[in-house]
Amino acid sequence: MKMKNFLIGLAAKSVYRKADVIFSPGTKSAEYFKKNGVEGNKICLIPDSSEIPLCKEEDIRKKYGISQEVTLFLYFGRIIKQKGLDV
C-alpha cells in the first residue's frame, strides 16, 4: 500500500469515528464504516434515488419518439468510462 493511501485512510477513519451520523446508501458501505470503527447506531441507511416511490410514471417511448422495436435500458448511475456503458 502506498504511504499516501495509508495516510488518507487513517485521516478518514478519524473523521468517521468523530461523526455524529454517517449516511450510508447501502449495506455494503455500512459494513465498510463499521469495519473502520463507526458504531452501528451512528450509521443511517438511506435509499438510493431509484428506490424513492415519488417518481412520476411517463411513457418514455412516446415522449422521445422511440419505436417499439428499439430495446430500452434504464440506467441509474454516473455516466463514466469505467461503468462500461459503451459496451
Q: Give the pLDDT confidence of 38-75 residue by residue, as tens digits.
A: 998 999 888 665 555 665 778 888 989 999 999 887 77
The 10 Å CB-count burial string (b at 16+, else e) for 24-63 is beeeeebeebbeeebeeeebeeeeeeeeeeeeeeeeeeee
Write down the pLDDT at residue 52.
54
Write down the pLDDT at residue 66.
93
Write down the pLDDT at residue 4.
87
Model pLDDT for residues 10-45, shown as the tens digit of each residue: 888 888 888 888 888 888 888 999 988 899 899 988
Query: How many CA atoms within 13 Å lie on the side-chain side of 15?
Result: 7
Write down the pLDDT at residue 26.
83
